[in-house]
Chains A and B, each alone.
Chain A
Amino acid sequence: MTVLINDTGFLTTDPTRWIDPEARIDLPSDTDPARLRCLLIGKELVRIAFSSFSDGRGFTLARLIRQQGYKGWLRAQGHVIADQYAMARRSGFDDVEIDDDLATRQPEDQWLARANWQAHDYQSRLRGIAA
Chain B
Amino acid sequence: MYRYTDFDAAFVAERNAQFRAQVERRIDGSLTEDEFKPLRLMNGLYLQLHAYMLRVAVPYGTLSSAQMRQLAYIAERWDKGYGHFTTRQNIQFNWPTLRDVPDMLDALAEVQMHAIQTSGNTIRNVTADHFAGAAADEIADPRPVAELIRQWSTDHPEFQFLPRKFKIAVTGSPNDRAVTKAHDIGLRMVRNEVGEPGFEVIVGGGLGRTPMIGKVVRDFLPEADLLPYLEAVVSVWNLLGRRDNKYKSRIKITVHEHGIDDIRARVEERFALLRPAFTGVDQQLYAQIKSDFEAPAFADRDTAPFDQAYANDPVFRSWADTNLSAHRAPGHAIAQISLKAHGATPGDATADQMRVMADLAEWFGHDELRVSHEQNIVLPHVHKADLPAVHAALKDAGLATANIGRISDIIACPGMDYCALATARSIPIAQEIATRFDQLKLENEVGDLKIKISGCINACGHHHVGHIGILGLDRAGVENYQITLGGDHTETAAIGQRTGPGFSADEIVPAIERIVDTYLSERDSADEAFIDTFARVGMTPFKTALYGESERKQKAA
Instruction: Identify the A interface with B (CB < 8 A).
Output: 33, 53-57, 59-61, 63-64, 67-68, 81, 83-84, 86-88, 90-91, 105-107, 110, 113, 119-123, 125-128
Instruction: Specify the main secondary structure of chain B where it touches its partner.
Output: helix
- Interface presence of B151 (CB below 8 A): yes
With contact pairs A106-B30, A120-B11 given, residues A113 and B157 touching in the complex (Cβ less than 8 Å): no
CB pair B39 A83 closer than 8 Å: yes
Contact for A110 among B30, B238, B277, B285, CB less than 8 A: B30
With contact pairs A57-B239, A120-B11 given, residues A68 and B158 touching in the complex (Cβ less than 8 Å): no
**Complex A-B: 22 CB contacts under 8 Å:** A33-B239, A53-B38, A56-B121, A56-B159, A56-B162, A59-B158, A59-B238, A67-B273, A67-B274, A81-B31, A83-B31, A106-B31, A120-B155, A123-B152, A123-B157, A125-B281, A126-B285, A127-B278, A127-B281, A128-B279, A128-B281, A128-B282
Which residues from B are CB-within-8-Å of A81?
Answer: 31, 35
Interface range on chain B: under 10, 10 to 19, 20 to 34, or 35 or more?
A: 35 or more
Going nearest first, the 10 A-B pairs with the smallest beta carbon separation are A56-B161, A128-B281, A90-B157, A87-B157, A59-B158, A126-B282, A120-B11, A60-B238, A60-B158, A91-B157
Quote the shortest CB–CB distance from A15 to chain B (angstroms).
Answer: 22
Quote the shortest CB–CB distance from A14 to chain B (angstroms).
Answer: 24
A87 to B155, CA, bound (A): 8
A42 to B279, CA, bound (A): 30
Total number of residue pairs linking A and B with CB closer than 8 Å: 103
- Interface presence of B323 (CB below 8 A): no
- Interface presence of B119 (CB below 8 A): no
A86 to B280, CA, bound (A): 25
Which residues from B are CB-within-8-Å of A83?
Answer: 18, 22, 31, 35, 39
- Interface presence of B302 (CB below 8 A): no
Quote the shortest CB–CB distance from A78 to chain B (angstroms).
Answer: 13
Which residue of chain A is the closest to B276 with respect to CB atoms? A67
Interface residues of B in 481-528 (CB under 8 A from A): none
* Binary contact readout B278-303 vs A (1 if CB under 8 angstroms, 0 otherwise): 11111001000000000000000000
- Interface presence of B156 (CB below 8 A): yes
- Interface presence of B160 (CB below 8 A): yes
CB pair B278 A63 closer than 8 Å: no
Which residues from B are CB-within-8-Å of A106?
Answer: 30-31
* Binary contact readout B3-45 vs A (1 if CB under 8 angstroms, 0 otherwise): 0000100110011001001100100011110010011000000
CB pair A110 B25 closer than 8 Å: yes
- Interface presence of B235 (CB below 8 A): yes
A57 to B159, CA, bound (A): 9
A120 to B32, CA, bound (A): 26
CB pair B235 A60 closer than 8 Å: yes
CB pair A122 B151 closer than 8 Å: yes
Interface centre among A55, A113, A122 (most CB of B within 10 A): A122
With contact pairs A55-B161, A57-B239, A64-B235 given, residues A123 and B281 touching in the complex (Cβ less than 8 Å): no
CB pair B161 A54 closer than 8 Å: yes
With contact pairs A123-B157, A127-B277 given, residues A56 and B29 touching in the complex (Cβ less than 8 Å): no
With contact pairs A87-B157, A91-B157, A128-B279 given, residues A64 and B162 touching in the complex (Cβ less than 8 Å): no
Which residue of chain B is the closest to A33 with respect to CB atoms? B239
Which residue of chain B is the closest to A30 with respect to CB atoms? B239
